[in-house]
Amino acid sequence: MISSIGKTTNAIKKVLITGANGQLGFELQRTVPVGYTCVATDRNDLDITDASAIKSFIEKIKPDVIINSAAYTAVDKAEEEPALAKAINTTGAANLAQACKDASSQGQHIQFMQISTDFVFDGKGYTPYPVDALAEPEGMYGITKHKGDLLVQQILGEEAFIIRTSWLYSSHGNNFVKTMLRFMAEREELGIIADQIGTPTWANSLANAVWQGVEKNITGIHHWSDAGVASWYDFAYAIMEEGVTLGLLDNTIRIKPITTTDYPTPASRPCYSVMDKTSTWQALDFKSEHWRVALRQMLIELKENEENA
């Protein structure tokens, strides 16, 4: 369902958010700055794979900003459904960018924000990837997202704003944190991959970074995740510790570190996908919190939601 929200009745900018039911879409709607009103859509409201539908929708609502948080994010399933992943991640992004360019030719300027992923990297590096690092995705998810990013740049040139993120979670939707809490409440032992390194990111943190980018009219490619690094094993252990401290879990369980080869999946994951955020922090004029601090904040929110349910 289309939702329209804002923090002021005298909004100066209208923002179209795609992927409204996703984790980032949810957080974007909760963090709308004063001076903006949002039209938040899911795939039932706006099919981004349909260029004519996008054109009609944009002509109707006349947005000043488009934030594309819609994506096909089922990493393993993308190997089975490459055409669908391409339609959403590649064609959909290009359709939105082209609609912005077409609107510009009619005298309407639209800021465009494309949300991308650490999966554009092959994960074979050992130091944080700068924004200009070579993108060499290996799985269909990363490939289709990267191709979408390239088309956005090709269509909009220097006006495009692309922000890559990683290991996203939120109190909304399905994600690693909520899955771990459920498993930890049900089982006595878990085996968690310890040789894939990245950075967990609270979707609320990313949403605030995106809004800051909108406010500052940032362009180019940027990286945003919370600060610090972790393996999935480290992340899971922190979830357990924080969960017990907050009363979301009754007790600790055994967590065993395993390797990627111990847990084969249809799609390969980057072994190392830590991103260098220095240039983004400078451009936005603020830094990420450490992922452990952000995790605690999200879990406090999750506990409050359970208590108020």
Active site members: 141
User: What is the residue-wise DSSP string for the chain?
Assistant: --EEEES-TT-SEEEEEE-TTSHHHHHHHHTPPTTEEEEEE-TTT--TT-HHHHHHHHHHH--SEEEE------TTGGGT-HHHHHIIIIIIHHHHHHHHHHHHHTT---EEEEEEEGGGS-S--SSPBPTTSPP---SHHHHHHHHHHHHHHHHHGGG-EEEEE-SEE-SSS--HHHHHHHHHHH-SEEEEE-S-EE--EEHHHHHHHHHHHHHHT--EEEE---BS-EEHHHHHHHHHHHHHHHTSSSS--EEEEE-GGGS--SS---SB--B--HHHHHHHT--PPBHHHHHHHHHHHHHHHHHH-
Q: Which of 283, 164, 178 is nearest to 225 (CA)?
A: 164
Check: CB of residue 162 under 8 Å from CB of residue 149.
yes
Backbone angles phi and psi of 163, in degrees to 5: -125, 120
